[in-house]
Amino acid sequence: MAFGLPLDPDFRKEVVGFWLDDIDDRLELGKPEDAEKSWQIAREIYLSLPVGCGNMSLDDRIFGQRVKLDKRSQATNENN
């Protein structure tokens, strides 16, 4: 049985950062599907934060990683 994350918003934001870092690691390993899963997990945790606990730098990182994944996917599709 998996344990849920603590409710502390600062801890959750830190975990989101780790998942966003994981995206780059997965892409370097040539596993874009796993990178996509990491992005989805990061986004889900971020969206579960209480109202007013957001963070603009995390917003920017989440958006930046989404753009990176989309560009990579588009490049792959154009090469096929």
Determine, yes or no, domain membership for 67.
yes
Q: What is the pTM of this model?
A: 0.84
Residue 73 has a pLDDT of 80
Instruction: Say if 2 falls within a structural domain.
Output: no
Q: Is residue 3 in a domain?
A: no
Q: Which residue has the higher pLDDT, 65 or 75?
A: 65
pLDDT in the model for residue 6: 74
| Alpha-carbon span 51 to 19, nearest angstrom | 21
Q: Say yes or no to pLDDT of 76 above 80.
A: no
Residue 4 counted as domain residue? no
Phi-psi region of 52 (alpha: psi -120 to 50; beta: other; left: phi over 0): left
Does any domain span residue 68? Answer: yes
**Cα–chain center distance at 60:** 11
| Conformation bin of residue 3: beta by default, left when phi > 0, alpha when psi is -120 to 50 | beta
Asked if 19 and 42 touch (Cβ cutoff 8 Å), the reply is yes
Question: Given a cut of 90, is residue 5 above it in pLDDT?
Answer: no
Q: State which residues form the domain around 72.
A: 9-79
Average the pLDDT over 63-67 and give the result: 97
Structural domains of the chain, count: 1
- pLDDT, tens digit, 9 for 90 and up, residues 8-58: 899 999 999 999 999 999 999 999 999 999 999 999 999 999 999 999 999
